[in-house]
């Protein structure tokens, strides 16, 4: 089973994300990854096959700054358990990152459309199409509006999803969306949180909101 953690606020995001991933290890997974937007506006993505402890070892010496980020543990469905198929996934520009739980049933059609329109793919997953759909909307009708770009992207999806999205060009926004796959959010004086279940947030707050289908 896949797991999602997201944070935006006044604290360093990476330790919060990693702690959340550890709390999701009970779900079973084969890879893990994180993405953070740092204070210089760079989107730093690190992911690998294996356990969260393997990811922590991989992170040694890396740039881990930033107070916004998303993280994921993946159980392979589309594509083998490899580094390239681990989440987060990026758009072509490397400025948009997404994590996804669920199944995109029309990903083949979407991938074909996106490829015909100049997008290149780095993984074998169904999830990666979401990053490119957000890019497509960001560069088109939703320029400068990440919420609108995510809304446009999910309107083109068939299947189930819990999504968390960050963009280097919107460094104060974490956008989440849900349809058929659980996602909870919470807010505290220290920031806003998202997760695929309440477990990663248990040490933060007892007050969470379960997103309904179709909510962003």
Q: Which of 138, 152, 157, 164 is nearest to 72 (CA)?
A: 164
What's the CA gap between 47 and 169, in Å, rounded? 21
| 12-37 confidence digits (pLDDT tens) | 999 999 999 999 998 889 999 999 99
pLDDT value for 19: 97
Sheet holding 89-90, edge to edge: 89-90, 96-104, 159-167, 175-179
pLDDT value for 1: 66
| 93-149 confidence digits (pLDDT tens) | 999 999 999 999 999 999 999 999 999 999 999 999 999 999 999 999 999 899 999
What's the CA gap between 105 and 174, in Å, rounded? 25
pLDDT at 79 over 80: no
């Amino acid at each position: 089973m896949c797991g999602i953690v997201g944070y935006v606020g006044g604290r360093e995001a990476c330790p919060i994300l990693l702690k959340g991933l550890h709390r999701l290890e009970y779900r079973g997974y084969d890879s893990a990854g994180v993405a953070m937007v740092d204070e210089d506006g760079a989107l730093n993505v690190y992911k690998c096959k294996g356990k969260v402890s393997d990811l922590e070892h991989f992170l040694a010496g890396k740039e881990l700054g930033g107070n916004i980020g998303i993280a994921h543990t993946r159980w392979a469905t589309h594509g083998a358990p490899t580094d390239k198929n681990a989440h987060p996934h990026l758009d072509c520009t490397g400025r948009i990152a997404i994590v996804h739980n669920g199944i995109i049933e029309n990903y083949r059609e979407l991938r074909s459309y996106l490829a015909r329109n100049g997008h290149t793919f780095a993984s074998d997953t169904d999830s990666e199409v979401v990053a490119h759909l957000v890019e497509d909307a960001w560069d088109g009708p939703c320029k400068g509006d990440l919420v609108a770009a995510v809304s446009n992207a999910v309107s083109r999806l068939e299947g189930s999803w819990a999504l968390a999205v960050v963009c280097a060009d919107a460094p104060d926004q974490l956008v989440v969306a849900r349809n058929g796959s659980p996602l909870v959010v919470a807010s505290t004086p220290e920031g806003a949180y998202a997760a695929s279940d309440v477990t990663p947030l248990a040490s933060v707050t007892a007050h969470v909101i379960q997103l309904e289908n179709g909510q962003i």
